[in-house]
Amino acid sequence: MNPNCQFPNERISVVARAQESGTTATFTSALAAFDQNWNETYGIFSKGMNSDTYEPYRWRPGSITHFGPKNEDVSSLILSIPYTLGYMSAGDLQQGMSVAALSNRLGQFVTVTTESLQLIPIQAAMDAQRNSDSLTVDLVNPDTPGSYPISSYTYFVMYGTKMQDCSKATELMRYILWFMTDQQALEAADNGFATLNEKIVSRVRSEVLSHVQCKGRLVLDLVEDQIAEENKTENTWIIPVAVTCGYYGVVTA
């Protein structure tokens, strides 16, 4: 696979997440998709190490050299221990780390970019689920040219109809709308994330957000009312202003 590379004769240390995490769930989901034997033996799991016994929940005993509680801990271990590899979200990569190019289903070696990470896999996943109502489609190991084989959505968990503090519900809704549509928020790709495409944003709004309620009222209606009130308040400050400027002529001899 790397015929022109000369590797050091050193033992490789492997780092994994200790706490239960979506990162581990995504990584093992990809391993299960890559290899049937892995899927049948270990499957998909999110737990790392038992904090009482210091034994792994599902990893093969002895396969993990070090456990890091959080992604930043995994990063620190990888940077501080030579010949170490691990997994984490792209947003947690630190300066000095080398990222592996992975072979996708088509045999193409692909690195992490905004496009390879999400934009192409999302479209492929949407095409695959045209007859499905699910917004939790699996994005690992797509058969799309140029796609990175390990990626997933990041989710918010919120009440659909049980929120009682409508002020907080309104602000939460405005925040969600902001990061899905505002240009500044759409630059999140610079921090290791790929933004949702327009089709997914439209589905999230129509199929999820438009049904969220607080005390029997649609929260989107509350947002519209709040924005209308803000615009009304802003307009009261718009008054005609006349400014007189004096001009002086200066002559030098």
Condensed to tens digits (0 to 9), the pLDDT of residues 51-100 reads: 999 999 999 999 999 999 998 999 999 999 999 999 998 878 888 888 88
pLDDT of residue 120: 57
Confirm whether 78 is domain-assigned: yes
Question: Do 135 and 190 fall within a single domain?
Answer: no
55 vs 48: CA distance, rounded Å: 9
Question: Do 123 and 175 fall within a single domain?
Answer: no
Confirm whether 24 is domain-assigned: yes
- What CATH number is attached to the domain comprising 94? 3.40.190.10
pLDDT of residue 136: 77
Range of the domain at 109: 105-154
Confirm whether 183 is domain-assigned: yes
| Predicted confidence (pLDDT) per residue in 154-167, tens digit | 888 899 999 999 99
Question: Do 149 and 167 fall within a single domain?
Answer: no
Sequence-ordered list of residues with C-beta below 8 angstroms from that of 154, at least 6 positions apart, any chain: 22, 193
- Is the torsion defined by CA of 94, 193, 132, 140 positive or negative? negative
Question: Do 171 and 208 fall within a single domain?
Answer: yes
Confirm whether 86 is domain-assigned: yes
pLDDT band at 139 (very low <50, low <70, confident <90, very high): confident
* Burial of 23 per CB tally in 10 Å (0-12, 13-18, 19+): buried
pLDDT of residue 10: 92
Count of structural domains within the chain: 3
pLDDT of residue 86: 95
Confirm whether 49 is domain-assigned: yes
Confirm whether 241 is domain-assigned: no
What one-character-per-residue DSSP string does 33-76 give? Answer: HH-HHHHHHT------B-TTT--BSSSPTTS-SEEESSHHHHHH
Give Cα separations from 89 to 27, 66, 74, 86, 154 (angstroms): 10, 18, 11, 11, 10
Smallest Cα–Cα separation from 196: which of 178, 211, 213, 169?
178
Confirm whether 218 is domain-assigned: yes
Question: Do 113 and 149 fall within a single domain?
Answer: yes
| Predicted confidence (pLDDT) per residue in 227-240, tens digit | 998 888 766 655 56
